[in-house]
């Protein structure tokens, strides 16, 4: 068990990696708890949930709506949960986003904690306190930043994840390696077989390293005024690809990272050898390199990016494996790069 502490102004949070998830019973109050989960997680793990009211959502992004929050708040009122209550999210990114947002607005804010059940949420979504719901197809329009009291990451729970969900999360771990941890990158290269076999001992170590890096970034810049932006590496193109092709987040981010690495080389920021290593690692895990999306569609989607300010966009480049920088770049330049890139014959 490794506990990573995240202290930000006004809150303390801990990510507990390698803890058996049933031990969550020791971390929550005795009464006044609402458990939020989804149907898939409930079907597999529901029998062992702590005894409290459980609200089970349909799985998937479609549950991330304001109406879900209203609905759940109504049910919590009916269950008599007051300001001393506690919201426990048991699930992936979707469940934890909803649980965290609900806890931050119910009665102007009550306590919350998560059992994080997907690789994506363990390495990314559950650390950092971002939560929220979508609006009219645009992701996370309404939400808050609020740290949960704890996040349990039990690698055993990852064994039941569908393969594509596992690989989607793995891409976000690769992102962490590229922007901040070259040793992690090397481990992902060297232990490819064990990673794909989901060796739980190895996973505990890899998840720990990923969370440690993210925690460091979040402690320094909780509200994304600066450093936290580097976590968006691969996400400018990635988000556009995700929307255009409706693929899982990580798969879209993987092609976004390949593009961003190439763009970094073109800008003279990163050597070709590092970009090649990145491409090789992405290929090793089976991610597609070139997204099949037209430049005009990419243009339309990038122009709607939330991270845009005026005609510029904060774009994250790398200067090598384990090192990222962000720069304000004219949107046109980003689009032009994609146009050039997408006509180049790919090897």
Q: How far is the CB of 1 from ligand ADP (least distance, A)?
A: 19
How far apart CA 242 and CA 331 sit, in angstroms, is 19
- The gap from C-alpha 46 to its chain's centroid, in whole angstroms, comes to 24
Which of 64, 239, 248, 277 is the catalytic position? Answer: 239
User: Which residues are 191's β-sheet partners?
Assistant: none
Q: How far is the CB of 192 from ligand ADP (least distance, A)?
A: 22
Q: How far is the CB of 250 from ligand ADP (least distance, A)?
A: 8
* 273, containing H or E segment: helix 272-284
- 172 belongs to the catalytic site: yes
Find the Cα–Cα–Cα–Cα dihedral 307, 114, 218, 210, rounded to 10°.
Answer: -100
Q: How far is the CB of 158 from ligand ADP (least distance, A)?
A: 6
Q: Which of 125/184 has CB closer to ligand ADP?
A: 125
Which of 19, 204, 232, 262 is the catalytic position? Answer: 232
Residue with tokens 């031990």: 23
The two beta strands, 2-8 and 54-57, are: unpaired
- 228 belongs to the catalytic site: yes
Residue with tokens 């080389």: 265
- 224 belongs to the catalytic site: yes
Q: How far is the CB of 116 from ligand ADP (least distance, A)?
A: 8
Per the CB < 8 A criterion, the answer to whether 250 and 169 are in contact is yes
- 239 belongs to the catalytic site: yes
Q: Which of 198/289 has CB closer to ligand ADP?
A: 198
Which tokens sit at 147? 């740290």
Q: Which of 142/227 has CB closer to ligand ADP?
A: 142
**Which residues are CB-contacts of 71 (< 8 A; sequence separation ≥ 6)?**
none
Per the CB < 8 A criterion, the answer to whether 26 and 32 are in contact is no
Q: Which of 167/270 has CB closer to ligand ADP?
A: 167
Which of 16, 64, 228, 277 is the catalytic position? Answer: 228
- 235 belongs to the catalytic site: yes
Q: How far is the CB of 44 from ligand ADP (least distance, A)?
A: 6
Q: Which of 159/290 has CB closer to ligand ADP?
A: 159
- 26 belongs to the catalytic site: no
Q: How far is the CB of 124 from ligand ADP (least distance, A)?
A: 8
* 21, containing H or E segment: none
Query: 101 exposed, middle or buried (CB, 10 Å; 0-12, 13-18, 19+)?
Result: buried
Per the CB < 8 A criterion, the answer to whether 169 and 120 are in contact is yes
Which tokens sit at 237? 């193109």
Which tokens sit at 301? 């989607």
Site residues for ligand ADP per CB under 6 A: 38, 40-41, 44, 59-60, 91-95, 117-118, 120-121, 125, 157, 160-161, 165, 168
**Which residues are CB-contacts of 211 (< 8 A; sequence separation ≥ 6)?**
4, 15, 17, 122, 123, 127, 153
Per the CB < 8 A criterion, the answer to whether 75 and 55 are in contact is yes
Q: Which of 59/291 has CB closer to ligand ADP?
A: 59
Which of 165, 172, 222, 242 is the catalytic position? Answer: 172
- 308 belongs to the catalytic site: no
- 12 belongs to the catalytic site: no
Which of 130, 146, 175, 209 is the catalytic position? Answer: 130
Neighbours of 34 (CB within 10 A): 25
Q: Which of 157/265 has CB closer to ligand ADP?
A: 157
List active site positions: 108, 130, 172, 214, 224, 228, 232, 235, 239, 249
């Amino acid at each position: 068990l490794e506990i990573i502490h995240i202290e930000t102004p006004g809150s303390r949070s801990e990510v507990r990696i390698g803890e058996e998830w049933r031990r969550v019973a020791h971390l929550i109050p005795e009464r006044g708890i609402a458990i939020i989960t989804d149907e898939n997680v409930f079907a597999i793990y529901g029998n062992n949930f702590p005894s409290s009211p459980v609200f089970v959502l349909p799985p998937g992004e479609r549950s991330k709506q304001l109406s879900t929050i209203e609905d759940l708040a109504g049910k919590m009122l009916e269950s008599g949960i007051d300001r001393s209550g506690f919201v426990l999210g048991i699930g992936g990114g979707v469940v934890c986003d909803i649980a965290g947002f609900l806890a931050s607005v119910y009665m102007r804010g009550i306590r919350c904690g998560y059992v994080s059940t997907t690789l994506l949420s363990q390495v990314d979504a559950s650390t950092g306190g971002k939560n929220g719901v979508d609006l009219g197809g645009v992701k996370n329009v309404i939400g808050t930043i609020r740290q949960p009291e704890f996040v349990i990451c039990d690698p055993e729970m990852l064994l039941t994840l569908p393969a594509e969900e596992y690989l989607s999360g793995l891409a976000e771990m690769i992102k962490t390696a590229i922007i901040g941890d070259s040793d992690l990158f090397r481990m992902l290269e060297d232990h490819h077989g064990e990673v794909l076999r989901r060796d739980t001992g190895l996973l505990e170590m890899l998840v720990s390293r990923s969370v440690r890096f993210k925690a460091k970034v979040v402690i320094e810049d909780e509200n994304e005024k600066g450093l936290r932006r580097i976590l968006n590496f691969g996400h400018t193109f990635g988000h556009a690809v995700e929307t255009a092709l409706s693929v899982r987040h990580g798969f879209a981010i993987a092609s976004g990272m390949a593009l961003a690495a190439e763009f970094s080389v073109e800008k003279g920021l990163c050597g070709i050898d590092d970009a090649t290593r990145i491409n090789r690692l992405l290929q090793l895990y089976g991610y597609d390199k070139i997204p099949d999306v037209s430049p005009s569609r990419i243009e339309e989607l990038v122009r709607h990016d939330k991270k845009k300010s005026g005609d510029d966009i904060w774009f994250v480049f790398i200067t090598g494996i384990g090192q990222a920088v962000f720069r304000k770049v004219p949107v046109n330049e980003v689009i032009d790069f994609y146009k050039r890139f997408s006509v180049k014959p790919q090897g």
